[in-house]
Amino acid sequence: MADASVVGKEYPPFQWEVERGKIREMVQAIGDKNPIYVNRDAAVQEGYKDSPATPTYITVPVMWTNVLFKIVKEMKINFARVLHGEETYEYLQEIYPGDILTGRMKIVGMDQKSGKAGSMDIVKVEFTYTNQRNEPVLKATTMIVERK
Partner 1 sequence: MSKEVRFGDIAVGSEMPALVKMPVDHMQLVRYAGASGDFNPLHTDPEVGKKVGIGQIAHGMLIMGFVGQAITDWIPKKCLKKFSVRFAGMTRPGDTVTVTGKVREKADGNKIVCDVQAKNQKEEVLVAGFFEAVLP
Q: Is 35 in the site for partner 1 (CB under 8 A)?
A: yes
Q: Is 19 in the site for partner 1 (CB under 8 A)?
A: no
Burial (CB count within 10 angstroms: exposed 0-12, middle 13-18, buried 19+), residue 42? middle
Q: Is 17 in the site for partner 1 (CB under 8 A)?
A: no
List the alpha helices (DSSP H) in 1-148: 20-30, 40-45, 59-64, 67-74
Amino acid at residue number 29: A
Closer to partner 1 by Cβ: residue 8 or 69: 69
Q: Is 118 in the site for partner 1 (CB under 8 A)?
A: no
Q: How many angstroms separate the CA atoms of 72 and 5, rounded?
A: 15
Q: Is 128 in the site for partner 1 (CB under 8 A)?
A: no
User: Which residues is 56 bridged to in the sheet?
Assistant: none
Q: Is 86 in the site for partner 1 (CB under 8 A)?
A: yes
Q: Is 117 in the site for partner 1 (CB under 8 A)?
A: no
The DSSP H or E segment spanning 136 is strand 136-147
Q: Which range touches partner 1 (CB under 8 A), out of 5-13, 54-62, 102-110, 128-136?
A: 54-62
**What residue ranges bind partner 1 (CB under 8 A)?**
22, 25-26, 28-32, 34-36, 46-48, 52, 54-56, 59-60, 63-64, 79-80, 83-91, 94
